[in-house]
Amino acid sequence: MPPPPPKTTTTTTTPLPCSNPTLFLAFTLLTFLSLSLFFISNKISSFPNPQNTLQISQAFIKVYVADLPRSLNYGLLDQYWSSSMPDARISSDPDHQIRPRPIKNLKFPDYPENPLIKQYSAEYWITGDLMTSEKLKSRSFAKRVFDFNEADVVFVPFFATLSAEMELAKGKGSFRRKEGNEDYQRQKEVVDFVRNSEAWKRSGGKDHVFVLTDPVAMWHVRAEIAPAILLVVDFGGWYRLDSKSSNGSSSDMIRHTQVSLLKDVIVPYTHLLPRFQFSENKKRNTLLYFKGAKHRHRGGIVRENLWDLLVNEPGVIMEEGFPNATGRELSIRGMRTSEFCLHPAGDTPTSCRLFDAIQSLCIPVIVMMP
């Protein structure tokens, strides 16, 4: 397994896109394990006795990577790092604090450290794993093939999250509109490319895989890729109306027929806080900890109610927090000194905070509305 690509660098070397072993195994296995159950079930059922256990354990999923233009994945990273525009949504953008980072013709540029983007970076690690030579990997559950006729699934290497977040970072309210929306233009380019391919026509898209970890990724074209296998962090956002919608007939509603546990796969967020080693763990003096915004976007009433109920209770810390360097350090200290960490999203059982708690050895408490 090659070492992970270096963080924020200006050297001319080309790092391999493959992550460290933990991230690699987590993303690859969690992503493709569910997919493989369907595609290798016939092979497994054909084994007549337990003597074939070794053969079963060596099964893998064959993946064809759609030949999208580089501008739709790593080229987007080139564009991101060459920009001098900081993210308008956060007070301190770690990627554009002073000046844009010089680009030195990296084949596989780093993924952003901006926490609003980094938490959804599964698209980067999965694509990087598939782009890495088989000779440089070990125990990979996914094997890349170069003929779609030999593949179990067709992976579409579009950085949909990065594309959406780059548009949102402009802060001009253009995301929902199609006119002047660069993300929408990229979405259409991907859909036109994929749906006109022989691979899509062969299966109707049912064996195609898209990474849509950001709730707004591929927002305008989701109906067109609904037959495909979607890798998402949860199904919460797919059932909810936009806060500005007034009735169930709104075009902003994502129909539930587009996602299903029968075809889609839940993948983890990328944790933002560093791993806390068990050997460093000490007595924890706080019972329950939460740091974040009191008001949850898209309705999360349960968070505000819990806040008012718990804020003055002994042994409980409820703090307003924001995704900046100061907030990060406070979250590290708070999670590492607390027994339980509250996750009151309300509209979804998962969040980046959940995986940060696990990394901090803090027991997650998930609160969700029925």
Residue bearing the bigger pLDDT, 363 or 16: 363
Across the range 94-114, mean pLDDT stands at 75
Which percentage of the chain shows pLDDT scores above 70?
72
User: Cα separation of 129 and 232, whole Å?
Assistant: 18
Return the pLDDT at 112: 92
Across the range 213-242, mean pLDDT stands at 82
Q: pLDDT-derived band of residue 125, with 50, 70 and 90 as boundaries?
A: very high
Using CA atoms, how far residue 86 sits from 83, 93, 117, 168, in Å, is 8, 6, 13, 11
* Number of CB atoms found within 10 A of residue 280's CB: 8
Residue bearing the bigger pLDDT, 212 or 95: 212
Inform me whether the pLDDT recorded for 319 exceeds 80. yes
pTM of the model: 0.76
* Highest mean pLDDT (candidates 46-60, 64-78, 287-301): 64-78
Inform me whether the pLDDT recorded for 199 exceeds 80. yes
Closest CA to 124 of 267, 255, 241: 267
DSSP 8-state class, residue 239:
S
Show the tokens assigned to 316.
Answer: 């409980």
Specify the range with the lowest mean pLDDT, choosing from 49-53, 90-94, 133-137.
49-53
